[in-house]
Amino acid sequence: MQTTILTIDDEEMIRELLVTALSREGYRCFQAGGAEEARGILNAYRVDLVLLDIMMPGNSGVDVLKEIKSLSSDTVVIMVSAISDTETAMRCIHLGADDYILKPFDIERVLLTIRNSLEKQRLRIENREYQANLERKVEEQTGQVRMAMEELHQTYDHTLTALVRALDAREKETGSHSERVMNYTMLLAEMMGIGEPELGVMARGALLHDIGKIGISDNILLKPARLDEAEWIEMRRHPRLGYDILSGIRFLKGPAEMVYAHHERYDGTGYPNRVAGNAIPLGSRIFALVDTLDAMTSDRPYRRALPFEAVTEEVKRCSGTQFDPDIVRVFLAIPRSRWEEAGKYRFSDS
């Protein structure tokens, strides 16, 4: 595309001299004797470069410079003056002028200044477009990586859910016990003001709480009668087995800690390490309540599901012993309907 140059000068002889020289160089040329005429050309045509006289009647070159830059910051402006005024020159550069030429000037020097200024303009525009394209590509690639990570996490979660459903089926759990306690855990944690990433860690810990039962014999796990002492010792190994399985997987290290402590009690009488109070991971303290909720409101071989009111009474009774009292207060403030909605499970009324 042909480069367009506008010469603004109140001296017609100067304008004609510049236009003649520039036209021979192949530039498309316009000229104006003042600000008003220049304004019409600038509004009607795309102008790449302006040769702008500073001292003109009416609007000064500095005023016109401001107008040009407000229309297009990419337009190259070379100031022309018959007076060597360093202060004015620096002011023009600060306002966006690209160079400064003194009259009388050598036409070859003017042409060289124009060529250099246009080359700087080209490089500036190319660099800006390159940066914009680079930012767009980075944004696109970041989005693709984020989507891939989300898909990967979804794949992980779907795989874990399938594994846990198989475990629940093996133990003949009612419905999907592990998914319900995961949803209950998320509800209680959210009501406590817990957000990501802790919420995701707690959700996975709740989902995988019984993963260690993979290592427990069916004879013990599915025994219809009460377990004897030796069998209980074996059964109590499952939190440690679960921890050993999960802790070797980097993104499951947090859930592994929760799984290890999910049978600890607030008063220190739980297992496997008999830790107490805040030494128990917060996720495990939350889980203790929701596991009791699901156990009591589900059918068992030895009894029918209990009503929600029986759960709240048990939770109150065990506050400070089995359960963290601070978490109990939040638990009791959540209405039955919210629990049923979270677990997609309706509690018994009697």
Query: Nearest CA to 78 among 37, 115, 50?
Result: 50
pLDDT per residue as tens digits for the range 46-70: 999 999 988 887 778 888 899 898 8
Which range is least confidently modeled, 165-169, 241-245, 260-264? Answer: 165-169
Could you give the residue range(s) of every CATH 1.10.3210.10 domain in the chain? Answer: 171-343
Which range is least confidently modeled, 25-29, 129-133, 147-151, 220-224? Answer: 147-151
pLDDT for residue 142 is more than 70: no
Q: What is the CATH class of 171-343? A: mainly alpha
Q: Output the pLDDT for position 150.
A: 65
Whole-number average pLDDT of the chain: 88
Here the tokens at position 263 are 């049978």
pLDDT for residue 164 is more than 80: no
Average pLDDT over residues 224-238: 89
Average pLDDT over residues 69-80: 89
Q: How confident is the model at residue 174 (pLDDT cuts 50, 70, 90)?
A: very low
Q: Domain 4-129 sits in which CATH superfamily? A: Response regulator (3.40.50.2300)
Strand (E) or helix (H) holding 14: helix 12-24
Q: Output the pLDDT for position 169.
A: 66
CA distances from 345 to 181, 298, 302 (A): 11, 10, 20
Could you give the residue range(s) of every CATH 3.40.50.2300 domain in the chain? Answer: 4-129
What is d(CA 237, CA 32) in angstroms, rounded to the nearest whole number? 92
Average pLDDT over residues 226-250: 90
Q: Output the pLDDT for position 57.
A: 77
Other CB atoms within a 10 A radius of the CB of residue 45 amount to 12
pLDDT per residue as tens digits for the range 294-316: 999 988 777 889 999 999 999 99
319, 163 contact by CB (below 8 A): no
What is the number of alpha carbons within 13 Å of residue 142 lying toward its C-beta? 6
Q: How confident is the model at residue 283 (pLDDT cuts 50, 70, 90)?
A: very high
Here the tokens at position 117 are 């200024």
Here the tokens at position 26 are 């192949």
What is d(CA 199, CA 194) in angstroms, rounded to the nearest whole number? 6
What is d(CA 24, CA 318) in angstroms, rounded to the nearest whole number? 97
DSSP summary character for residue 48: S
Q: List the catalytic residue out of 213, 223, 253, 316.
A: 213
Instruction: Find residue 28's DSSP bridge partners.
Output: 4
Q: How confident is the model at residue 77 (pLDDT cuts 50, 70, 90)?
A: very high
253 is catalytic: no
Average pLDDT over residues 205-211: 91
pLDDT per residue as tens digits for the range 79-113: 888 777 777 778 888 888 888 888 888 899 899 99
Query: Nearest CA to 288 among 321, 323, 260, 320?
Result: 323
Average pLDDT over residues 248-254: 86
Q: What percent of the chain is modeled with pLDDT above 90?
A: 51
Rg value, the chain, Cα: 39
